[in-house]
Copies of this chain bind each other. A is one copy, B any other.
Amino acid sequence: MAPSNSQIAHIGLAVEDLETALSFFKDVLGHEPTGVESADGAEIASLRFGDVDIELLKPQKPDSPIGKFIAKRGPGIHHICLRVPDLDAAITDCQSKGYQMIDAEPRTGAGGHRIAFLHPKSTFGILLELTD
């Protein structure tokens, strides 16, 4: 068993419109985005809540991962990213325990972070991303 030193890095929210979502976080909660960037065919606005980011993900095209998610399920909470001490070790550990990776090798995600997604069929329907 791995040591329990993982943390939540961010939560990704699939939204159809960044401005509407940003208005809520600003008007009600007083949160301004810390940055806006593009990754995986999505425009991403990040909001910082303590040690955890909320990433608002707006698809830039229908056939992007977020575009497909919204087409199938509507806007909603897309994934949780967990920070582990060693991403390569975590991938090997997941695979050895029968959990299927979407990314068998780390790749570069938003913010230049090394990331890898697990397959939600393997993780009880929840899309989980790992980073370090």
Cβ-defined contact, B24 with A4, below 8 A:
no
Q: How many copies does the complex hold?
A: 2
Cβ-defined contact, B16 with A1, below 8 A:
no
- Chain A interface size, as a band, is 35 or more
Residue interface bits A44-71, CB-to-B below 8 A is 1, else 0: 0000011110100000000000000000
Min CB–CB distance A123 → chain B (angstroms): 6
Q: Is A26 an interface residue (CB 8 A)?
A: yes
Cβ-defined contact, B77 with A77, below 8 A:
yes
Name A's B-contacting residues (CB within 8 A): 1-8, 11, 13, 15-17, 20-21, 24, 26-32, 49-52, 54, 73-80, 82, 84, 90, 93-94, 97, 99, 123-127
- List residues of chain B with CB within 8 A of the CB of A49: 6-8, 82
- A73-B73, A125-B74, A125-B76 known; A28-B2 Cβ under 8 A: yes
Find A99's partner among B11, B24, B31 (CB 8 Å cutoff): B24
